[in-house]
Structure 1
């Protein structure tokens, strides 16, 4: 399965994980701690993993096809940007 990864420079990784997981927990399968998260997108048979470090948020998305992967990169990115509020995130996906 194709995988994309992004290392996002931010001091707010833990806050982003918390906000995003609370938001998605109403409709997706979500497991998270202060520093780690796993979000399952059952309809797309895909998974997003996040890990907060002191100055970055590591994000990976795994999907069954390149098309689904690109779609979920956009979904995850737009939601992270929304949860960041006034902080500008530079998100560059690598696969």
Structure 2
């Protein structure tokens, strides 16, 4: 499994965690409390932990090639839910090495 992690500074971590879990609960297996959420997606898992000032997001892709896509899908959804905040996602791999962000879809890859 390819795992990636980001700690996002936000006072709205619990609200965003719950909103994402509720959003996906009609499609995927979801379990959550105000402080912790788990979502089983077709390409892997998303786990989130909220504190008063941050949201830790961990995505685990079954296929390593899906890790960038899974990371991007989760990040895009959280950004939509936090439209009033400018969130920063500094993703790292399982060893803590920074992971370069994926280019936007409307930009050429290269």
TM-score by length of 1: 0.93
Q: How does 1:18-37 map to 2 (within 5 A)?
A: 18-37=18-37
Larger radius of gyration: 2
Q: How does 1:1-95 map to 2 (within 5 A)?
A: 1-41=1-41, 43-44=42-43, 46-95=44-93
Count of aligned residue pairs for this structure pair: 93
TM-score by length of 2: 0.81
Gaps (5+ residues) in structure 1?
none
Give the CA deviation at 1:19: 1.0
Gaps (5+ residues) in structure 2?
94-110
Aligned CA RMSD, in angstroms, stands at: 0.8
Distance 1:64 1:17 in 2: 22
Q: Runs ≥4 in structure 1, deviation > 4 angstroms?
A: none
Distance 1:34 1:11 in 2: 13
